[in-house]
Amino acid sequence: MAIGDVYNDISADVVDDGFLTIQPPSTAQASIHNIYVPETAEIEIYYTDGTNPILVITNTGSLYSTQFHVTNTTYITVKNVSGVAIDMGFDGIETKA
C-alpha cells in the first residue's frame, strides 16, 4: 500500500472475549477513523505494544470519526465483550508505507 491509501479489514465471527487486532505491517503507519460492530455489540478498545494493554474505551456499537494512530509496535485491539460472536471491521488511511 501507499501513503494515502485506505487501510481496512473485516473479521467475521469474532468470538466472545476474542479480538480484532488493528496492526499494520512492520514499516507502515496508519490513522484509524472508524471501527464497525453491530449496533448493540459491546466492545473494549485497548492501546498496546503487545505486552502492556491499556483499556482506553468501552463502547456499545460502532465508533465513528476516531483518531487512533497505529504502528506495527503500538497498535489497538478491539475486544468483543458482547457474549456472542460478532463481525468487526475498521477503516483508516495509511500515513507511512
Amino acid at 15: V
Residue 1 confidence class, pLDDT cut points 50, 70, 90: confident
Report in angstroms the alpha-carbon separations of 20 from 4, 9, 36, 90. 23, 10, 11, 9
pLDDT tens track for 43-95: 999 999 999 999 999 999 999 999 999 999 999 999 999 999 999 999 999 99
Does residue 55 contact residue 43 with C-beta atoms inside 8 Å?
Answer: no
Assigned C-alpha cell, 25: 505491517
CATH no. of 6-90: 2.60.120.340
Is the full-model pTM beyond 0.85? yes
What angle is formed at CA 49 by the lines to CA 23 and CA 64, rounded to 5 degrees?
50
Domain ranges of the chain: 6-90
